Amino acid sequence: MSNLAIREWPVRERPRERLKAVGATALSVRELLAILVGSGSEGRTAVDVAGDLLVAADGSLRRLAGLPASRLESIPGVGLAVSARVSAALELGRRLAREGPESRTRISGPRDVFERCAPTMRDLAHEEFRVLLLNTQHAVTREVTVTQGVLDGSVVHPREVFRTAITESAAAVLLVHNHPSGDPTPSAEDRQVTRQLVGAGELVGIPVLDHVVIGDGRYISFVEAGMFEAG
């Protein structure tokens, strides 16, 4: 297919479409570089240009990262923009390799939830509903703001709560929201939403471990208060 433009290739063979369909790990180094190259020139595809980049570096990404911009730009089809993209991508890879393990807060109870979330939630003038995604060690992998405003079942929909949890393979979730009045006593709507989300969590296999309501300097945990049940 070297005599055809990439747009004329079968869709399943195009690097960008393959990246979307099967993920970056399934692509060859040449295909990944071709995505950075973007487009070819003078009858040569981005894949051809990517191949020339590899040849210039003897097939080594480490050597490619060490080539000066002038050498990269001497390759037909590689101008300033392509050279900059390739250099930036390789530098990001180096920095990623140097980055240590992410520090994650492990949640052992509702007090940990309060201490994590209260500083950014207790003084809000509106209600905000968040979900903490947990791994199997109950460490927080991500904190997601689901909605802002009055809390009710029509706003906090299970689809919105569990979408990210499912995508990121969370082992469990914690619900947390604030009461601008300062009184963390759960309302009837709070209880209704909690029952709905606990039930949804059981259906999708991602348990809801607790719902913590944050007030002014204090909190109420549904589990500690004995209000935690599905149905």
User: Tokens representing 118?
Assistant: 């209260």
User: Tokens representing 172?
Assistant: 């469990």
Query: pLDDT tens, 98-109?
Result: 766 666 788 999
Q: Which CATH architecture fits 110-221? A: 3-Layer(aba) Sandwich (3.40)
Kindly tell me if the per-residue pLDDT of 152 is higher than 80: no
What is the band of 39 on the pLDDT scale with cuts at 50, 70, 90?
confident
Residue corresponding to tokens 């690097």: 15
Kindly tell me if the per-residue pLDDT of 42 is higher than 70: yes
- Residue extents of the structural domains in the chain: 6-98, 110-221
Residue bearing the bigger pLDDT, 8 or 203 = 203
Report which listed range, 3-12, 64-73, 140-149, is most confident.
Answer: 64-73
Kindly tell me if the per-residue pLDDT of 51 is higher than 50: yes
Mean pLDDT across the chain, nearest whole number? 86
CA dihedral 139→145→148→153, nearest 10 degrees, is: -70
Q: What's the CA gap between 230 and 194, in Å, rounded?
A: 8
Q: What's the CA gap between 138 and 134, in Å, rounded?
A: 5
User: Tokens representing 30?
Assistant: 């040449």
Kindly tell me if the per-residue pLDDT of 5 is higher than 90: no
Q: Averaged over 66-90, what is the pLDDT?
A: 91
Kindly tell me if the per-residue pLDDT of 14 is higher than 70: yes
Cα distances (Å, whole numbers) of residue 18 to 2, 23, 30, 45, 90: 17, 7, 13, 16, 21
Q: What is the pLDDT of residue 231?
A: 40
Query: pLDDT tens, 163-203?
Result: 989 999 999 999 999 999 999 999 998 999 999 999 999 99
